[in-house]
Structure 1
């Protein structure tokens, strides 16, 4: 019998608790995660650590579908956590799901 790897889902907030373009930090299993809501109400989640020097992305400035690290202004994609432009590196990204106004973080 084959086992199917299911993702673990954890409720982290309601949609209303996450302000547009103002990241929210949550701690899951000792990992700090930044939750983002864009102007079109899309929810994203990244490890709260810039790939450059570990700056807290939850304190960064959100513009469109990117966050700018507060330490050195690195531009990080909310889609996949990859640094943009000439910068290199990636921070972990997490899937999200919204159901009945509750935001769920998808963990492997």
Structure 2
């Protein structure tokens, strides 16, 4: 039986610093949450496919995060690793409502 995905309220958008990742735990998953400079909020799996680096601790540039271990560049939109490296991470839908961040897990 597949678990039903649902929106979970995480925190106020104003409490998530711009360009700084934050690790949150939902339904047994570690998720990296990012408030981008364009105002969007993105959520991805908090594990680099290379050597499990904590992506919430990575450097954000535009719509990408660089893994803090080996500098792999990962899209915060698609979850894909930039070539020539290979791999991907799970991407979670986000919603902002009344300045609250919700993530679909």
Which one of the candidate residues 80, 90, 93 is aligned to 1:92?
A: 90
Q: TM-score, normalised by structure 1?
A: 0.91
Which one of the candidate residues 52, 64, 85 is aligned to 1:54?
A: 52
- Tell me how far 1:85 sits from its aligned partner: 2.2
Q: TM-score, normalised by structure 2?
A: 0.93
CA RMSD of aligned residues (A): 1.3
* Structure 1: 4+ residue segments shifted above 4 A: none
Measure, in 2, the Cα distance between the counterparts of 1:48 and 1:17: 19
Query: Unaligned stretches of 5+ in structure 2?
Result: none
Measure, in 2, the Cα distance between the counterparts of 1:80 and 1:35: 14
Of the two, which has the highest radius of gyration? 1
Query: Unaligned stretches of 5+ in structure 1?
Result: 1-5
